[in-house]
A and B are shown apart, each in its own frame.
Chain A
Amino acid sequence: MMKYLSFISVMFILLLWGVVTSFALIDQTLLAGPVETFRVIIAGDQIFIHAWHTIIRALEGWSVALVLGGFIGLAIGMAGNFFKAIEPLMEFLRAIPPVMAFPLFLVGFNYGEGAYIWTVIFGCFPIMMLTVSRGFQQISKDKLELLALYHVKKRLRLMSCFMESLPHIFLGGRLTLSFALVIAVVTEMIFTPRSGFALGALARDAEINFDTPTFYAAVLVIGGFGYFANVALRKIHQKFFI
């Protein structure tokens, strides 16, 4: 029964959504019906082109943040005292909403694609770095003493600590992936990219034009991607690290 609970709950929400819109309990200009929404998704190839560009922007930024944050987090984690020294700065950066930095990146990258990608990096990097460095710092003293006592080669020591930190790197990756998508969509809503393909811009325009089915289709597509990506990463995490 538990196995089907999530499926049943999704079905229930869809049913509720259908009932609410069919009986016009909420104005159609505020909430489109599920049929119209899915019609847009199924029939409209445009939405997937928009989604594709948004996801690529998010993934590009996320990948850079993953690699940069992972390596720098490891280095800082190893440095010990240095971590303590820069932790307040990183926490400060993490607290800044990435969207606030977006206008700067827009100007800096001449309103190009780089602005969107670097806003994602700016948002994801501190989270990634802090998660990884904290993970590294949590490697037990007993393990480090063991490596030192037995004169394990530096290369193997580093590899062992990296492998031990891998669950934290993965956790950082999971946490930041959905955040990367949010940042990509929000920045696209603020300023449409030159290519014109952007799910955020599509959703914003649909909202302005009272094209609620397209708006909700955009929400469902991006939410669906985030959900399935997270499920996939969680499965990998469970298989290899738990």
Chain B
Amino acid sequence: MSKVRLGCSQLRISLPVFVALEKGLFKKHGLSVDLTMYETAQPLMADLLDKKIDIGGYTALPITYDGVISTRKKLYYLTTMIEDQDHRVSYLLKSSQSTLKKVSDLKGCKIGILPTHAYRSWLDVILKKNGLEKNVVIEEIPPHAQMNALASGQVDALFTNDPMATTIVKKKLGKLFSAENEALDNIKNPLPFGSFNVSKEWADKNPKMFKNLALALDEAVVFTNQNPEEAKQFMKNYIAKEYQDFVKEMPDAKYLKTEESPLSLFQHVEEDYLKLGVLEQSPRSIWFGCGWRFDGKIGSKLHVSKLTASHQNNADEKLIFKDLSFGVQPGEIVGIFGPNGSGKSTLLRTLAGFHQADAGSVQFPEVGIHQTELSYVSQNYRESFFNWASLRGNIKLVMNNEQDADNVIDETLKAIGLDLDLSLKPKQCSGGMLQQAAILRAFCKNPSVFLADEPFSALDVDVVRKVRQAFSNFVRSNNIAAVLVLHNLEDMLEVCDRLIVVNGTPFSTKKLKGFAPMSIFENERLNTISKKKAKPIQFDKIIQNMLALS
């Protein structure tokens, strides 16, 4: 059983955590939880970023973003809590006797808020939209003091969440400010409220635990969505006594599983928050840096969505591709085929994260995927070898000199069937040998996704057939999703299942009409064209043929 320090707030937003604890889901997935409870998510986030806990949630996204921006520490996000009309989370309350009707009536009043960055910034937005920026007094009131504060008239209104809000309403100490949901009306509807967070450091050190945590949380989320009443009962053991009698009355909760929480969802919230002034700067550079492990569609190992990228040449910006979307299944080899300068390598480098995309996302949806499970063979494979080490030393280096590195290398070499002397130094090797070594090195990392730029270009004619066959077998038997940039039609026909035909820049999904199963192509016809070695390859003609056939 692996120990993990978990933090959660004593609020309803932590429901999946309570469910996972009560139903033993963490234990089921091999996690021994050392639980720390917090009154709100604000100190929880501070402790998470301060490494006092390893994982924690749920936290409202403004708290998360604010913490990430101010500390520049990286987090991974699992699952999402959604607030919509049927799944209320935030409440603007007034005292039972209050005659206030509209938000604009709050002019000159005192409003109590849950002491978090999220509630403060959301209230600021609501007030600003109602022209009350400077005409109200805002007071932070901790959860345990909120009932009294509203009942005693210490504040005229209270902006908070459950279990306090429902308890106040049911005890008739206060009532909803209006029939509207002020947060949804003024901020976003539906509102991705918050996420469960994991410190990147912990996740990177404990990839298996990370995966198990995601599985446990996903199970808890499914249970919470499907059995809302039962889930709410689990809250009783974790919230203060005065709220326990009202758990049944609280609204049902809605959570999205990890795989249903795409990067785009968080990006849209971020964009809205930037517009609304909830955020002053984007945390995107930070989260892009850490990789979005659990994003994307179920099924594919690599999912590219509306990807756009360009090249900056001095003052000119050249659009290379726009709104490119495709997915690659496990064990599938997709080829990118097109003339020189069409942006094939840029696309591959963007997928690998070496070229910054202008928009869109590259997602690795498989649960547990770690960035190290992405392997890449560069077009400049010669330059990627360190001259001071042997080929074996170079491969061991990227394996962090793991204890069983030698065994893995030997087994992979045997599995691929390459004939390589790994004791040679790079300078003693031919281009073909280095290219084979680069492929071997990429496979030794046990990748889920394999990207390669012209991986067979330097191989001799008699070697290339053997390597292509071995490569193809290895990818399929190990369920690797592979994307290859290819220039040679024979390579393409031999190894690829599908093809992205690129014809000029900028290319986009609309132009990728040749993206179809290879089986529909007339292989013989393409072979015929490839055999005309005296003539340059006529891409336009080939593409036209492909389009006609598809």
Residue positions of A touching B, CB distance < 8 A: 140-143, 145-147, 149-153, 156, 160, 163-164, 166
Contact = CB atoms under 8 A, between A and B. Distances in A.
A140 B400 contact: no
A143 B386 contact: yes
Contacts of A146: 376, 378, 384, 398
Interface residues of B, number: 25
Nearest to A140: B383
A77 to B, nearest CB: 16
B397 A143 contact: no
Given A140-B380, A142-B380, A160-B397, A150 B372 contact: yes
B378 A142 contact: yes
Given A140-B383, A160-B386, A153 B398 contact: no
B404 to A, nearest CB: 16
B254 interface: no
- Interface-centre pick from B352, B386, B401 (highest chain A CB count, 10 A): B386
A142 B352 CA distance: 12
Nearest to B399: A150
A156 B380 contact: no
Interface of B: 204, 352-354, 371-372, 374-376, 378, 380-381, 383-389, 397-401, 445
Given A140-B380, A142-B383, A149-B374, A156 B388 contact: no
Given A145-B354, A156-B401, A163-B389, A150 B384 contact: no
Contacts of B398: 146-147, 150, 152
Contact of A152 (B385, B389, B397): B397
A152 B372 CA distance: 9
Contacts of A160: 386, 389, 397
A114 B377 CA distance: 53
A150 to B, nearest CB: 4
A143 B383 contact: yes
Contacts of A166: 388
Nearest to A163: B388
A143 B384 contact: yes
A143 B376 CA distance: 12
A150 B445 contact: yes
13 contacts: A140-B383, A140-B384, A141-B383, A143-B385, A145-B384, A146-B384, A149-B352, A149-B353, A149-B371, A151-B400, A152-B400, A156-B401, A166-B388
A150 B388 CA distance: 19
Nearest to B377: A146
A163 B400 contact: no
